[in-house]
A and B are shown apart, each in its own frame.
Chain A
């Protein structure tokens, strides 16, 4: 394991830990989306690492492009949900959303 590998793995683990920390500690809906995005960056780093050690960078890039598409759709739909919930309830805190009014 060289320095680059160690730094890459540590960065990915720290980013996943930060994402989990954000998910656990916040009740803001936009911060939840940000947490998922931060964790997805870690997944991107791990995918490119896997492509490097297997010598299949083309395959890794294909997975990364698919992951980016998922990331964009997630951000768009989640932001739309947040805006709609804010318009209807005036809240963006998850803990205050305790009613399922139709």
Chain B
């Protein structure tokens, strides 16, 4: 059952990615990205990565979507220029070719190089809990995250500083 749900979520992820790439409106694209993040969170949860799923759901679906929606709203031009249909069709005519190319690359890698991937089983549960790894052995990552958050915060403060 979880394997079927994961496969359905993966297919829906591709659909959400396509909507994000092809949508004419930026707000729709941002909402499609939020859907993609929510589906990724479900996949993470079904794989047993509950903490990562929680972070993905709260930060990516919530925070990043709000930030992008605010950016779209604040940079909306007064008179939007509607994209003409022929130009839109011409622009996306490359997309099927690109997707076919990716599929062919995957097939070539599988067939000719003998590259085999280990099968994934959704029921695998690691013996090493996230808490022990995160707080015990990856303390440099915590320091890097703190520095990254501070850099981001100071960058935003400097970007929006009123000029004297």
| B125 proximity list for chain A (CB < 8 A) | 57
- Are B94 and A79 within 8 A (Cβ)? no
Contact among B47, B77, B145 for A69, CB-based, below 8 A = B145
- Are A59 and B64 within 8 A (Cβ)? no
Contact among A2, A28, A30, A45 for B68, CB-based, below 8 A = A30
Q: Give Cα A30–Cα B105 distance, bound, in whole angstroms.
A: 30
- Which residue of the partner chain B has the closest CB to A52? B120
- Are B124 and A57 within 8 A (Cβ)? yes
Q: Give Cα A8–Cα B110 distance, bound, in whole angstroms.
A: 14
- Are B126 and A79 within 8 A (Cβ)? no
A38 and B20 contact, Cβ closer than 8 Å, known pairs A7-B11, A30-B75? yes
- Are B29 and A13 within 8 A (Cβ)? no
A69 and B128 contact, Cβ closer than 8 Å, known pairs A10-B106, A15-B13, A52-B120? no
| Cβ of A95 to closest chain B Cβ, rounded Å | 14
| B47 proximity list for chain A (CB < 8 A) | 48, 51-52, 57
Q: Which of B103-144 contact A (CB under 8 A)?
A: 103, 105-106, 110, 116-122, 124-130, 132-134, 138, 141, 144
| A28 proximity list for chain B (CB < 8 A) | 26
- Are A59 and B103 within 8 A (Cβ)? no
Q: Which of B47-103 contact A (CB under 8 A)?
A: 47-49, 51-52, 55-56, 59-60, 63-64, 67-68, 70-72, 74-75, 77, 91, 94-95, 98-99, 101-103
Size of the chain A interface, CB-CB below 8 angstroms: 65
| Cβ of A78 to closest chain B Cβ, rounded Å | 8
Q: Give Cα A73–Cα B67 distance, bound, in whole angstroms.
A: 11
- Are A14 and B21 within 8 A (Cβ)? no
For B35-50 the 0/1 string (1 means CB < 8 A from A) is 0110010011001110
| B18 proximity list for chain A (CB < 8 A) | 18
A9 and B106 contact, Cβ closer than 8 Å, known pairs A4-B119, A18-B21, A73-B152? yes
| B159 proximity list for chain A (CB < 8 A) | 77, 80-81, 83-84
Q: Give Cα A74–Cα B150 distance, bound, in whole angstroms.
A: 12
Q: Give Cα A77–Cα B95 distance, bound, in whole angstroms.
A: 29
Task: Say if the beta carbon of B1 comes within 8 Å of chain A.
Answer: no
Q: Which of A14, A56, A65 gathers the greatest number of chain B CB atoms within 10 Å?
A: A65
For A9-53 the 0/1 string (1 means CB < 8 A from B) is 111011101101110010010110111011001001100110111
